[in-house]
A and B are shown apart, each in its own frame.
Chain A
């Protein structure tokens, strides 16, 4: 199946690898990071415990799927901050006085 006889290789024409630059607008949308931020905001604003936990889970998913550490980390850290804020508000705030059942 491969070309027989002469060697198809041409070392002279070998070019080094250039990663194709992707325009930041064309990047695929990070849905899980977006959902993490939404749940995080909901958890903080409405004092909804499940919201903060879900935000943390989606943050973890976004981290797992992260492709480019520089560009994606900002959104992930935003979601993570919201999730932690939600946790602190829901669990450690003195106004509630302990665990709400």
Chain B
């Protein structure tokens, strides 16, 4: 069994993805750790302060040190003390209780006059303690409220951008892998239906796939949503390239965009006809709007053909939704055969199978590399319904044979010949003009270069002369130094 898929694109994209993700997560972690450590420093500072209060009171030189026993007060007043003096009345009272312990070791620092009203102030500190506690408790929930929300809601708001972007990137990465897998499954399903052994392309072409050997992969992956299939070795044509352009399922942004602006999975068959196999045929078939756009945009259709409004001679013709663009009506009539109408393009058949058809374009005046090309464009059904487009795919070899064997009648040929010769003459004239312009430009350039060279030479010569003259004058001006050779 041939290995269906050739992984043409390397794995470098996943590596880059991993590197990107790692760097982002490291930055985020670093960021969070910085802010977390900042907070802990803050808390540690408080704890240190409390410890110092309890253990090392000699250092209580700072005026607004709060007492340790009412610990509720410390948590409330410490932040407040950092911001400013909150309770000027209570603070001196609060300062006093630690002082007895301080005075024993550090009476150097404290004036004993301060402790005049001390016994009376044991009771008031208790009452003031209560008052401060009461005052503190409303303050405390506030501070508690202030300290906690910083950690949750406000922090989340602070990191809103980072959180949304990182989550989007994670979703993007997940979607990349799932979308890529989906596209591959779809392409493989198509290949399994139409390109493996005993399928339509195997029966029509001798060489399938990209490389020489038997085990070569059938599909060529050109991007996460572009797959190519090549077949060669058939009469009338040099080869066939089928390009599958699937929706960008691997790209989350494109996927969201495609939800608003609908998009289809498309497959385009390009058949390169042999030079002797195709007569003067310029023909296209598409749905009405698309046909009008094609006729205006595609060069060879624009030059040679026109929209065909009515069916010729009351024959059975294509469904109403379709429009034919052709150079000559006779050719169009010959190309839309009964078989085709019955199978695909007639009224009834088109209702069933028409939704997968996009356009069909035969031309022997194609402007790109190869001149004689048949182009078929179909939409791809989903994985489980690949068989729906069997009839459309069968059109490809049918038309290769039909056009390969088709010869125009003499009337039609004369008309087409006239049109083509006109166009050929115009093209020739354009070429001639272009050549003449190019020659003139070259001549002008050469002239410019010559003039510049001459002027340069002149300028240089003049400069040299001037330099020489100056050198001579300098020599004359300078006194002659006599040199004597030592022994």
Contacts and interface: CB of A to CB of B under 8 A. Distances in A.
Interface in B205-236: 205-207, 210-212, 220, 222-226, 230, 232-235
A2 B398 contact: yes
A93 interface: no
Contact of A65 (B27, B220, B251, B398): B251
A78 B165 CA distance: 20
Interface residues of A, number: 40
B6 to A, nearest CB: 11
B222 A8 contact: no
Interface in A1-60: 1-3, 8-17, 20, 32, 49-50, 53-54, 56-57, 59-60
Nearest to A63: B13
**B contact face: mostly helix, strand, loop, or mixed:** helix
Given A1-B339, A3-B397, A65-B223, A53 B158 contact: no
A49 B234 contact: no
B13 A66 contact: yes
Contacts of A20: 369
Contacts of A65: 223-225, 248, 250-251, 254
Nearest to A50: B161
A60 B19 CA distance: 12
A60 B161 contact: no
A99 B35 CA distance: 7
Interface residues of B, number: 64
A17 B212 CA distance: 9
A9 B205 contact: yes
Interface stretch (B52-60, B104-112, B168-176, B328-336): B168-176
A49 B35 CA distance: 17
Nearest to B390: A1
A63 B16 contact: yes
Nearest to B9: A69
Nearest to A62: B251
Find the residue from A20, A67, A69 having the highest chain B CB count within 10 A.
A67
Contacts of A67: 9, 222-223, 226
Contacts of A17: 210-211, 220, 230, 232, 239
B165 A60 contact: no
16 contacts: A1-B343, A2-B394, A3-B397, A3-B398, A8-B203, A8-B234, A11-B207, A14-B233, A56-B20, A64-B172, A65-B225, A87-B24, A99-B31, A99-B34, A99-B158, A101-B154
Interface of A: 1-3, 8-17, 20, 32, 49-50, 53-54, 56-57, 59-61, 63-69, 73, 80, 84, 87, 91-92, 98-99, 101
Interface of B: 9-10, 12-13, 16-17, 20, 23-24, 27, 30-31, 34-35, 38, 154, 157-159, 161-162, 165, 168-169, 172-173, 176, 200, 203-207, 210-212, 220, 222-226, 230, 232-235, 238-239, 248, 250-254, 339, 343, 369, 391, 394-395, 397-398, 401
Given A10-B206, A17-B220, A61-B172, 16 more contacts: A9-B204, A10-B233, A11-B207, A15-B238, A17-B239, A50-B161, A64-B176, A65-B225, A67-B9, A69-B10, A84-B23, A87-B23, A87-B24, A92-B27, A98-B35, A101-B158
